[in-house]
């Protein structure tokens, strides 16, 4: 797993932390903002992006997921159980795949940016 995404297990939940202030993610966020001026990629807009993308392309991961975005991080979490631990692992893999294949992010933004409820 890359240094910008980590999974943590707590007493009651399992969380996926996406550190958006890492250099690579910040560079991608700047490019996303160039493509769509509403896509200023703080934690709240990553939340908006993931809510749109996961509902559409990975509804099984979005189900039962809550999030807690901040200015410099995006955190998604699930109540802890075996099924949700698998969802958290899949979400971390999805985030990593999007960041490592950033053109996917840009393509989604170009095609569907106006359908995302930006912060």
Residue 71's pLDDT is what?
86
- H/E element, 57: helix 43-57
> How many CB atoms lie under 10 A from the CB of residue 65?
19
Bridge partner residues of 9 (DSSP): 14
What pLDDT does residue 1 have?
Answer: 72
Q: How far is CA 74 from the centre of its chain?
A: 7
The per-residue pLDDT string of the chain (119 residues; one tens digit each, 9 = 90 and over) reads 789 999 999 999 999 999 999 999 999 999 999 999 999 999 999 999 999 999 999 999 999 999 999 988 999 999 999 999 999 999 999 999 999 999 999 999 999 999 999 98
With tokens 């949700």, the residue in question is: 84
Q: What is the pLDDT of residue 50?
A: 97
């Amino acid at each position: 797993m890359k240094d910008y995404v980590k999974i943590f297990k707590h007493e009651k939940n399992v969380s996926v932390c996406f550190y958006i202030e890492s250099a690579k993610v910040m560079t991608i966020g700047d490019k996303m903002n160039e493509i769509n001026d509403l896509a200023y990629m703080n934690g709240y807009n990553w939340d908006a992006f993931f809510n749109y993308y996961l509902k559409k392309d990975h509804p099984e991961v979005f189900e039962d997921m809550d999030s807690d975005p901040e200015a410099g991080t995006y955190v998604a979490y699930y109540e802890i159980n075996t099924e949700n631990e698998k969802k958290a692992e899949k979400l971390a893999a999805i985030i990593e795949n999007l960041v490592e294949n950033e053109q996917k992010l840009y393509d989604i933004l170009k095609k569907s940016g106006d359908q995302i409820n930006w912060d």
